[in-house]
Amino acid sequence: MNNLHLAKNTILIVDDNPTNLGVIFNVLDEAGLEVLVAQDGESALQKVEYVTPDLILLDIMMPGIDGFETCSRLKSNPSTSDIPVIFMTALGNTEQKVKGLSLGAVDYITKPFQKEEVLARIKVQLDLRNLTQSLANKNQLLQEKIAEKTALENTLQLLNQELEKRVEERTFELQQTQLQLIQSEKMSTLGQLVAGVAHEINNPVSFIQGNLTHAESYIQDLLSVLQLYQENFPSPGKDILTLLEEVELEYVIEDLPKLISSMKVGVERIRQISVSLRTFSRADSTTKVAANIHEGIDSALLILKHRLKATEKRPQIEVVKNYGNLPLVPCYLGQLNQVFINIIANAIDALEEACVQRTAEELKENPCQIAIVTEISKNQNQAIIRIKDNGLGMTEEVQSKVFDYLFTTKVAEKGTGLGLSISYQIVVEKHGGRLSCFSESGVGTEFTIEIPLV
Ligand SMILES: Nc1ncnc2c1ncn2[C@@H]1O[C@H](COP(=O)(O)OP(=O)(O)OP(=O)(O)O)[C@@H](O)[C@H]1O
Ligand SMILES: [Mg+2]
């Protein structure tokens, strides 16, 4: 028996018989164990309140409370219930052994004691107890470590979330600034160009228009003079008569006024285009200005007119307008025009793609069309503009991303993926309105712009 193995453990012997007590004390003491003694149950229970032994050797028959009662009380007290109890019984008393074990004892030793057996049984129980305790300690330590780790992980997770949120906020701010820059750059370059062209057209058109009125009255005068000549000199001579016939004077007299008025119509049209271009490029002031939305849509259509025309690959794209009775809308019209251009240009792109995929018969039945409807919302609070095409529509996945910065399904030279994100910013952030998209794959797409009227 390895005494060192048992050393430092404390054993409490409870026995009223001094001889027994002496024998067992010696055995344990020799084995290097710390030994405490009590001569009855009561004093044993008192002792364990001050010193917690690692094991109790308990006699059964004692004056006062017997061993069974002592064991029951030890087991029912949480601070002593863990201490292993070994009963000391008389040889062959099975009943006592069974009762002791059922009360929570871990083993028994029989009198008269066999030294080796006693030590062996004690050692098994002490080893078991030490093992259980060290396991419990390790478990405790492990749980503390896990708790520490969880706390650390939670802190880390919180920090991470905070960081992600900040990065997201910064990225969003950056994107917004970039968008604003791109948008104002785009607007100012395009706007300047268009304003310049409109201005250049405006001057010559003004003097053609002004002079046409004079030309008309001079021609009228000349014709009157000619008529008077003809009346006063009915026979002007052969040369004049031949020339009159050659130039078909009668026809010229009849056609010239028509020619002049059609020139006037043409010039008026150029003037309107120039006005439209100026409307489009109108430099927006810092405050909103009440504007005619229909003029804005028309100027956008005018700028995109060349793209609506028939090409070798497809028939013309029809534009069906159904303008409601809109009041003047407080807005930054120059920027809204940009929105109209982006959405109509996208519709044209979608229709062009559809034309490639649809047969001539299908196109005849369902011609490429952009429908533009304007109306006031039911509660009279919003101006609503709907721009609808019967192109190829979008899948749900594309639809969920259309307003995303830099999202495009087009080849690099055709799309940058900025059009709708800029439009979204203009409608939602600049105007406090709403921009929504309804699309059905293979059928078409509708964009709805809602601008508050107040
Ligand atoms: N009317 C439409 N029909 C079908 N798809 C559309 C329509 N309008 C937009 N889309 C889809 O939304 C995407 C994003 O449109 P957006 O206008 O933002 O960018 P883009 O047209 O690709 O490029 P750009 O910056 O030149 O406008 C398009 O690439 C297209 O896939
Ligand atoms: Mg676009």
Q: What is the pLDDT of residue 53?
A: 95
- Nearest ligand to the CA of 440 is 1
Choice from 341, 420, 448 to test ligand 1 binding pocket (greatest atom count within 8 A of CB) = 420
Roughly how many angstroms between the first and final C-alpha of the chain, as a whole number? 99
Distance of CA 374 from the midpoint of ligand 2 (Å): 21
Of 163 and 3, the structure prediction assigns the larger pLDDT to 163
CB 355 within 8 A of CB 368: yes
Distance of CA 410 from the midpoint of ligand 1 (Å): 7
Q: Whose CA is nearest to atom 28 of ligand 1?
A: 408
* Residue 3 banded pLDDT, cuts 50, 70, 90: very low
Residues of the chain with CATH 3.30.565.10: 285-454
Q: What is the DSSP string of 28-95?
A: HHHTT-EEEEESSHHHHHHHHHH---SEEEEESS-SSS-HHHHHHHHHHSTTTTTS-EEEEEETT-HH
Choice from 404, 410, 411, 426 to test ligand 1 binding pocket (greatest atom count within 8 A of CB) = 410
**Domain 285-454 grouped into CATH 3.40.50.720:** no
Distance of CA 348 from the midpoint of ligand 2 (Å): 10
Q: Whose CA is nearest to atom 13 of ligand 1?
A: 408
264 CB contacts (<8 Å, ≥6 apart)? 209, 212, 216
User: Worst-scoring range by mean pLDDT, 214-223, 333-342, 411-420?
Assistant: 411-420
Beta bridge partners of 347: none
Ligand 1 atom closest to 347 (CA) = 1
Residues of the chain with CATH 3.40.50.2300: 3-113
User: Which residue is listed with tokens 């809109």?
Assistant: 326
Beta bridge partners of 365: none
Q: What is the arithmetic mean of pLDDT over 47-69?
A: 93
Q: How far is CA 360 from the centre of its chain?
A: 42
Q: Which two tokens stand for residue 385?
A: 């503009």
Distance of CA 311 from the midpoint of ligand 1 (Å): 21
CB 342 within 8 A of CB 422: yes
User: Worst-scoring range by mean pLDDT, 5-9, 78-82, 101-105, 350-354?
Assistant: 5-9
Choice from 397, 408, 446 to test ligand 1 binding pocket (greatest atom count within 8 A of CB) = 408
Sign (positive or negative) of CA dihedral 390, 391, 395, 396: negative
Q: What is the pLDDT of residue 346?
A: 96
Residue 187 has pLDDT above 70, yes or no: no
Ligand 1 atom closest to 403 (CA) = 18
Ligand 1 atom closest to 420 (CA) = 18
Q: Whose CA is nearest to atom 19 of ligand 1?
A: 417
Distance of CA 403 from the midpoint of ligand 1 (Å): 9
Distance of CA 394 from the midpoint of ligand 2 (Å): 14
Distance of CA 444 from the midpoint of ligand 2 (Å): 16
- 351-372: pLDDT as tens digits: 999 988 888 888 888 999 999 9
* Residue 1 banded pLDDT, cuts 50, 70, 90: very low
Q: Which two tokens stand for residue 428?
A: 């939602």
CB 95 within 8 A of CB 61: no
Q: Which two tokens stand for residue 33?
A: 């164990």
CA atoms within 13 Å, Cβ hemisphere of 349: 15
Distance of CA 173 from the midpoint of ligand 2 (Å): 22
Q: Which two tokens stand for residue 395?
A: 């899948």
Sign (positive or negative) of CA dihedral 90, 91, 96, 99: positive
Q: What is the arithmetic mean of pLDDT over 69-80?
A: 94
For all residues of the chain together, what is the average pLDDT? 89
Q: Are strands 85-90 and 107-111 parallel, antiparallel or unpaired?
A: parallel
Q: Whose CA is nearest to atom 12 of ligand 1?
A: 402
Distance of CA 398 from the midpoint of ligand 1 (Å): 9
User: Max CA-CA distance within the chain?
Assistant: 178
* Nearest residue to 284 (alpha-carbon basis) of 118, 426, 98: 426
* Residue 54 banded pLDDT, cuts 50, 70, 90: very high
- 125-134: pLDDT as tens digits: 988 988 888 8
Q: What is the pLDDT of residue 282?
A: 63
**Domain 3-113 grouped into CATH 3.20.10.10:** no
Q: What are phi and psi of 128, to 5 degrees?
A: -60, -45
Interhelix angle 249-280/333-357, nearest 10 degrees: 110
- Nearest ligand to the CA of 446 is 1
Q: What is the pLDDT of residue 418?
A: 82
Q: What is the arithmetic mean of pLDDT over 37-43?
A: 95
- 267-323: pLDDT as tens digits: 988 887 787 777 666 655 567 889 999 999 998 898 888 899 998 888 999 999 999
- 331-344: pLDDT as tens digits: 988 889 889 999 99
Percent of the chain whose pLDDT exceeds 90: 55
187 CB contacts (<8 Å, ≥6 apart)? 334, 335, 338
User: Worst-scoring range by mean pLDDT, 35-49, 63-77, 239-253, 385-399?
Assistant: 239-253
Ligand 1 atom closest to 343 (CA) = 8
Of 285 and 163, the structure prediction assigns the larger pLDDT to 163
Distance of CA 419 from the midpoint of ligand 1 (Å): 7
- Nearest ligand to the CA of 401 is 1
Q: Rg of the chain's alpha carbons, rounded to an integer?
A: 53
CA pair distance 128, 82, nearest whole angstrom: 12
Ligand 1 pocket, CB under 6 A: 342, 346-347, 350, 389, 391, 393-394, 398, 402, 407-410, 415-421, 445
